[in-house]
Amino acid sequence: MDAPKNIAADYEQALLDRDRQKYVLRLFVAGMLPRSLDSIAAIKKICEERLSGRYEIEIIDICQHPELAKEQQVIAAPTLVKTLPLPLRKFIGNLLDEERILKGLDLKPKG
């Protein structure tokens, strides 16, 4: 006969695992224009405040590396691509809306 499951312990472990997940992000910008710089600053701020030590962010200028934009099917800039943890998510356009980004990255409860 199987031992009874400790559902509370499983839930607590799942929360701990979630809080240790590493985020892998790619931020696609079009040149180092004010909008690009604002997007970079906004995403870095969110990462430092919410994911300190648990994130990698790669900033890609699509003017210099259009092949990377094509590979990721990025059609507009700025675009933030979250590759890990799954599911993959893309945020296109205004990255200054912190609420939208936090919800989309599952760093804030939806609703």
**Domains delineated in the chain:** 23-104 (3.40.30.10)
What is the pLDDT, as a whole number, of residue 37?
A: 96
Tens digit of pLDDT for each residue in 48-104?
999 999 999 999 999 999 999 999 999 999 999 999 999 999 999 999 999 999 999
What is the pLDDT, as a whole number, of residue 12?
A: 57
Pairing, β 23-29 against β 79-84: antiparallel
Backbone angles phi, psi at 15, to 5 degrees: -65, -40
Q: Decide if 86 contacts 40 (C-beta within 8 A).
A: no
What is the pLDDT, as a whole number, of residue 36?
A: 96
What is the pLDDT, as a whole number, of residue 9?
A: 64
Closest CA to 96 of 53, 34, 52, 19: 34
- Residue 63 is given by DSSP the state T
pTM of the model: 0.79
- Measured over the CA atoms of residue 97, residue 102, residue 104 and residue 109, the dihedral's sign is negative
